[in-house]
Amino acid sequence: MIVRDLKRLALVVGPVLVLLFLSASLWHANPDFVRSRIGTLLDTHHVDTPPAATDDDSRPGPLPPHNETHNEIFSLSTFDSRYFPIEFGKYVFNPNIIPHPTRDETWIIMGQRYDDPNNRNFTCVELGCYARFVDGALVCVDEVRRFPIAPTPGGMCEGELTFLNLNDGPHDARVFYGPQKPYTMYGSQSGITCFGLWMQDFRQLVDWDAHEPDTPDDFKVGTEVQRPEPWAPVEKNWFIFWDKDDQMHAHYDMFPTRAFAKLSNDGSAGPDLAPAAALHGDELCMRRYLPKLPPRLESIHQATNSLKITLCNRADAGCKADDDNTFILTIIQHKTFYDWHGEYEPYVVLFYQRPPYELYAISKKSLWIHGRQRLSDTRTEMVYVTSINWKERGVRYHGYLDDVLFLGFGVEDKTSGGIDVRGADLLVDLGLCSAAS
């Protein structure tokens, strides 16, 4: 999804057969095709789709009813409980939704502009606006504008990836709250590897008319987030989490093995902390509850930012957050790519908020977002969850089972949707890691 137009390639690279083959994958006008190629060819940290599929790579047999294979979630705000469209007034996907800092019933939305195949430049843009619910849709109520995320210098892409140095602008941004303030994380050219992840205080990009104190992790300008070695040529889908003491960490990989580290306010990272968590059975837990992958065309990867959730109701007088009931929540996705069509099945993951941050539970079945379409006996609508945030202003990072949150997602890599559910709705039928041995 970094670049999409095959015709543009001829302007910048020579007719080398291998490079043309790779570039045809990366520049294909079909955005879903591009997503699959970027994820598989350039990210060496994930077991993913091979460079090309064959005519034999078709989904085996009809799909069973989703109520047998998924836990269905329903919107609290729409009359028919289906997910709601997010309307930017133009094609935008991979959306984020956070509460407006001062206005009631208003949210800030942000997503990736869909690149028309006829667009011949290399600029990628995150668009957004202030939005309210109108006739069952979350709709922009002011001008849709480009977020002023600065391009990064890069120039580190080599060999078959040299053409990625021409990219200009952010990719697949996530907007999320920390304990004190909002941030955005986005993909862009790296100063360390070919393509990396950058983070910035989101308030610097909008007219944020609420005072929130600066903290040592201020990230006032875009700052590259680092990781313990090894680096992949293209890094993606990292998320930030804050522990019980509000110490910031970056989580790089969930599968097949986890990788995460403490993060400093200059973006530098400490050593990989995941080996200590692995001693508590992380990999055994994932093998128990996540799908078994065939050699081709399927993968599991990180998808959203994180939230902290306490497993009792805020409204209950006896509900007190502690290490035994409070966890970091994120969503990962099982990707399949059969018949040249990507599909994504989201799973909820909980892990402890205190060292060694081992896994606590994983969904036994993936989530089915009510309103997602079945396109045929073997194909479903591609719904790609990108963001999770608490719906109500003031909740920020830490919520409870009775708090409402938004899931934002791209639909067929072209438009946007969202669904609002209670925290408890996501945590149905969890598989406890303590039961995985």
Mean pLDDT, rounded, of the chain: 86
**What value does the mean pLDDT take over residues 45-57?**
44
Please give the distance of CA 188 from its chain centroid, rounded to a whole number.
15
For helices 31-41 and 17-26, angle between their N-to-C axes, nearest 10 degrees: 120
CATH of domain 6-55+69-435: 2.115.10.20
Per residue in 357-380, pLDDT tens? 999 999 999 999 999 988 888 888
pLDDT at residue 214, rounded to an integer: 72
**What value does the mean pLDDT take over residues 131-155?**
94
pLDDT at residue 46, rounded to an integer: 34
Tell whether the model's pLDDT for residue 431 goes beyond 90. yes
Percent of the residues in the chain that have a pLDDT greater than 70, as a whole number: 84
CA nearest neighbour of 348 among 265, 254, 221: 254
Per residue in 102-134, pLDDT tens? 999 999 999 998 776 555 566 889 999 999 999
**What value does the mean pLDDT take over residues 29-35?**
36
**Between vectors from CA 361 to CA 38 and to CA 325, what angle results, nearest 5°?**
125
Check: CB of residue 65 under 8 Å from CB of residue 368. no
The more confident residue out of 210 and 371 is 371
pLDDT at residue 14, rounded to an integer: 38
What residue spans define the domains of the chain? 6-55+69-435
Tell whether the model's pLDDT for residue 314 goes beyond 60. yes
CA nearest neighbour of 196 among 160, 162, 153: 153
Per residue in 60-86, pLDDT tens? 677 777 877 899 999 999 999 999 999
pLDDT at residue 393, rounded to an integer: 94
Ramachandran bin of 263, using left for φ above 0, alpha for ψ from -120 to 50, beta for the remaining angles = beta
**What value does the mean pLDDT take over residues 400-418?**
95
CA distances from 171 to 37, 48, 125, 144, 252 (A): 15, 20, 7, 18, 17
Residue 39: helix, strand or coil by DSSP? helix
pLDDT at residue 362, rounded to an integer: 98
pTM of the entire structure?
0.86
Tell whether the model's pLDDT for residue 59 goes beyond 70. no
CA distance 233 to 156: 9
**What value does the mean pLDDT take over residues 277-285?**
95
Residue 19 pLDDT level (bands cut at 50, 70, 90): very low
Tell whether the model's pLDDT for residue 35 goes beyond 90. no
CA distance 229 to 122: 30
**What value does the mean pLDDT take over residues 146-161?**
92
**What value does the mean pLDDT take over residues 261-290?**
96
**What value does the mean pLDDT take over residues 197-206?**
96
pLDDT at residue 60, rounded to an integer: 64
Tell whether the model's pLDDT for residue 168 goes beyond 90. no
In our burial notation (b when 16+ CB lie closer than 10 A, e otherwise), range 393-417 reads: bebbbbbbbebbbbbbbbbbbebbb
pLDDT at residue 118, rounded to an integer: 57
